[in-house]
Structure 1
Amino acid sequence: MMALAASLPAFLPDIHSFYWPPARSEIEKAQFTLAIDRWLSGGTFPVPELVSLEHRPDNTLKTRGLAFITGQELELEASVSIGPDSAARLAGRLISQLVLQGAVECPDRMIGPDGHPLNLEISASKGAVIVRRG
């Protein structure tokens, strides 16, 4: 599906951007095509193009669009990072990991890039993975 979408500008030159409903994001056509082509050629999952990040007033971060791929969104509690940029970088790494492994079926523990343990818990509705500092 993504290969087909990325090839559309070659056949429909008037396309200026792509809208990805799961993330509610609009992506400029060259950026979208490049990101998808890189991914389909063995590169990393195109997080900024296919998953949006919502920084909430309580300093938590929630994804939008990840559930389309894994069945679960990701929620990072405020204690996990030291600021919005740090949270976004960590979210990008976790999103890439979750895309590779699939949905989290049971609580898990991992070491974050800063060396601190992280607890991955499943929300009561099972629709989200909640990340807390361990």
Structure 2
Amino acid sequence: MPTGLDATLEMVPIRPMQHDERITGLTLTFRAGERPDADAIARVIAASREAGLPASISHRPPGAAHWLELLASGLTFDLNGLAPGAPGPVANSQQEWGFEGSGPVGGETIELVPSGHIAGGAGILPVLRTMMGLAANLVLELPVQSVGWGAAQTAMEPRYFCRAVLNWLGGGPFPGLGLTALLPAQDGSIASRGLAHFTGQEMQLEGRAGEAPADTAKLAVRVIDRLVTMGRLAAPVRIDAGDQILTAEPSQVGRLVLVWREGRG
């Protein structure tokens, strides 16, 4: 499947969502037979701690554990689907990012999710940032074939995911192409899918006659970055997008922010 901005905006119509309600976190897909077991995860965590990653195994069930509880930055996450137990759920991705050629291949998954006592805060930004950073460090050390993010119904090439997430955690822009999906409409507008998991609201950007789809998408990514920084909107705000001014206005119906274009001056 194409992965560039131009190609993505040609993916019309978007396939109907096939969201698996079990998928509340990140899924890491491996080739059959390559899923890690608890011992392999323990080795990765130990090596990562030596490299400065503040993570540890906070709970390991006795016997042949098919899951682990991981502690990072004071927050706990469950890693489910470890070998030799049953694999985790398979995500149905609607957009893929960072792959060359035909995109991700099938396989077996493990799933990283917030633990029960913080599951209610799974959409709180510090929880999400910690989970993404923990996942990136696991992906760097394991033979992961693709990273799925259920909230946006996206799949990401592992190196693409790690670069985007670690850059964001280091102060760079939010990975809008991966942690959200872009849904183009026939009128040239673009809506987000998955942004509500970070801000409580999705976004719809007004199109502009004659504007290349790739340019509209780049603007949408910039807007998404700003909205993640600002959080949930309760009143209209203006966004300086460099060569134009935008107005982001929360809709009175549903969890939606409408983004309109303004002229300079």
TM-score, normalization: structure 1? 0.86
Q: How is 1:52-67 mapped onto 2 (pairs within 5 angstroms)?
A: 52-67=181-196
C-alpha distance 118-37 of structure 1, shift in aligned 2 (>3 A): closer
Structure 2, unaligned runs of 5 or more: 1-130
Q: Say whether residues 1:6 and 2:136 are aligned partners.
A: yes
Is contact 1:79-1:132 (8 Å) kept?
no
4+ residue segments displaced more than 3 Å = none
1:22 alignment partner, SS class: coil
Instruction: Select the structure of larger CA radius of gyration.
Output: 2
Give distance in 2, aligned partners of 1:85 and 1:41. Answer: 26
Report the counterpart of residue 129 of structure 1 in structure 2: 257
Matched pairs, number: 132
Whole-angstrom CA distance in 2 between matches of 1:38 and 1:6: 11
Deviation at 1:125, TM superposition (A): 2.4
Cα offsets for 1:5-53 (capped at 9, x unmatched):
112235542x211111111110011111121122222222111121111
* Distance verdict in 2 for CA 1:5–1:120, change over 3 Å: same
State yes or no: 1:103 paired with 2:232: yes
TM-score, normalised with respect to structure 2: 0.46
- Give, in whole Å, the separation in 2 of the partners of 1:130 and 1:72: 10
How high is the sequence identity, in percent, across the aligned residues?
39
AA of the residue aligned to 1:60: S
Match of 1:31 in 2: 160
Q: Which moved more, 1:122-131 or 1:57-66?
A: 122-131
CA deviations on 1:57-107 (whole Å, 9 max, x unpaired) are 121110111110011111012248823122111111111111111111102
CA contact (8 A) 1:80 1:87 kept: no
Separation in 1, partners of 2:248, 2:202: 12
> What is the CA RMSD across the aligned residues, in angstroms?
1.9
Secondary structure, aligned partner of 2:160: helix
Q: What SS does structure 2 have at the residue aligned with 1:78?
A: coil
Query: Which has the larger helix fraction?
Result: 1
